[in-house]
Chains A and B, each alone.
Chain A
Amino acid sequence: MRRVLVTSAPFDSGAELARLAVPGAGGTGSFIGTVRETGAQGAPLAALHLEHYPHVTEAAMNHLADEAWARFGLLGVTIIHRVGRLTPGTPIVLAAAAAAHRGPALEAVRFLADQLKTAIPLWKAEEHQDGRKDWLVPTADDEAAARHWLRATSG
């Protein structure tokens, strides 16, 4: 089971996780990212805008799914990322992995969630209550989290 999707439509997390119940999968891990009520500066948020590079974003997510599959010996992987205007409380992203045991399943989810922040052509803008829009810049923590996996590869 290998599923990659960039969509403006909502997704059903329960149904997506049920798809990962493949034979031999003793563990399924998942991460769901949700739009927070407040922005990076702490002010209430009206919405988050997600922009993508059609085709290229899907290709990069497929590459990421393949990488996780090989690296963690997965039996199933799902990456779904929403695009467009999303209001607070809305799920933006689902990363889920099925493996024989919990270790690789959970590690793979961490890997996917970290890489989705910095390695996939997606851009977020915060829409404030007064209509102003601020494009986000990657945080040092996000970049460090993504680099951690590069070190894990070379070491």
Chain B
Amino acid sequence: MRVLYFAWLRETVGLAEETLAPLPAPATPRALVEVLRARSPGHAQAFADLTRLRCAVDEQLCPLDAPLGEAREVAFFPPFTGG
């Protein structure tokens, strides 16, 4: 499973993406966050506050408690600031 990071999450984690073994079912992005937090101090810092965290599973925006299913790609990022 590919995990992608954008904006300050990418800078704080120190990676744009990484590959992890799929989580045991039933998994959610929130459960994945728990696994990611333990990977490095950068990860722990990036995922310290989930209130401003957004995610996408297989390129679809979804809540942190959405089912991960057989997801091949999960992305984490802050709220959008385009325009």
Contacts and interface: CB of A to CB of B under 8 A. Distances in A.
Interface of A: 33, 50-51, 53, 55-56, 59, 81, 92-93, 113-114, 116-125, 135-138, 142
7 contacts: A51-B6, A53-B56, A116-B82, A117-B81, A122-B83, A135-B81, A142-B81
Is the interface on chain B under 10, 10 to 19, 20 to 34, or 35 or more residues?
10 to 19
Interface in B48-83: 52, 56, 59, 75, 77-83
Interface of B: 4, 6-8, 10, 52, 56, 59, 75, 77-83
Main secondary structure of the interface of A (DSSP, over half): mixed
Contacts of A117: 80-83
A136 B81 contact: yes
A153 B4 CA distance: 33
Given A123-B7, A135-B8, A50 B82 contact: yes
Contacts of B8: 125, 135
Contacts of A92: 83
**Looking at B8, B52, B59, B80, which has the most chain A CB atoms within 10 Å of its CB?**
B80
Contact of B83 (A51, A55, A59, A116): A116
A138 B7 contact: no
Main secondary structure of the interface of B (DSSP, over half): loop
Given A121-B6, A123-B78, A137-B78, A93 B83 contact: yes
Contacts of B56: 53, 56, 121
A135 B7 contact: yes
10 smallest CB-CB distances across A and B, nearest first, come from: A122-B82, A123-B7, A117-B83, A116-B83, A135-B8, A136-B81, A124-B81, A56-B59, A120-B82, A138-B79
Contacts of B79: 118, 137-138
Contacts of B81: 117-118, 122-124, 135-138, 142
B52 A123 contact: no
B78 A135 contact: yes
Contacts of A51: 6-7, 10
Contacts of A125: 7-8
B64 to A, nearest CB: 17
A91 to B, nearest CB: 12
